[in-house]
Amino acid sequence: MTLSNFERMIQLSDEVFSSRSDPDQLNVNEKVMEHLQLIHPDTISEYDDGNGPVCWILCIPTTLDLMNQFIDKKISERELFELTPLNVKYEAIYMCSALLLEEFRGKGIAQRLGVKAIENIMADHSIKALFFWAFSKEGEKLAKKASDLTEVPLYKR
């Protein structure tokens, strides 16, 4: 039986991030998604090719103080999410994750979706930094490209 795009995306997420078994990573579930939407409506982005999702991007706006604590490994990804306050002016964006089904890679889908999310968040907040925690060479390349296109400095954990 062939898996749906949605099922394949969930499988890809488990393979890449193993967030269910790592207590320091953010395990995205319905409650987390609802809270992300309270932080900013563009925290979660999806590209659907008509047959279900083929790309998911997750960006978390936060404060520079929390960004620095995360980069310095003083707090975990989960703590970064939990400590990010609501209804404040954010100064940084954590490029949390980008998932793209293999056959759609190399077409600029993740780049366009990620940059659009960052630009939409920047329209509401004075963003001074982007930051990431790379799990793959592709993820690091995407973060660098997003930084170049948005002209926002990039920091790596």
Helix or strand (DSSP H, E) at 35: helix 30-39
* Whole-prediction pTM: 0.91
Q: Domain limits at 64?
A: 5-156
Calpha distance 131→81 (Å, rounded):
14
Q: How confident is the model over 52-69, as pLDDT tens digits? A: 999 999 999 999 999 999
Read off the pLDDT of each residue in 71-81 and give the average, rounded to a whole number. Answer: 97
Backbone angles phi, psi at 30, to 5 degrees: -60, -40
CATH code of the domain covering residue 59: 3.40.630.30
Q: In angstroms, how far apart are the furthest CA atoms of the chain?
A: 48
**1 pLDDT more than 80:** no
Looking at the structure of the chain, the number of domains it has is: 1
d(CA 35, CA 115): 22
36 class by beta-carbon count within 10 Å (0-12 exposed, 13-18 middle, 19+ buried) = buried
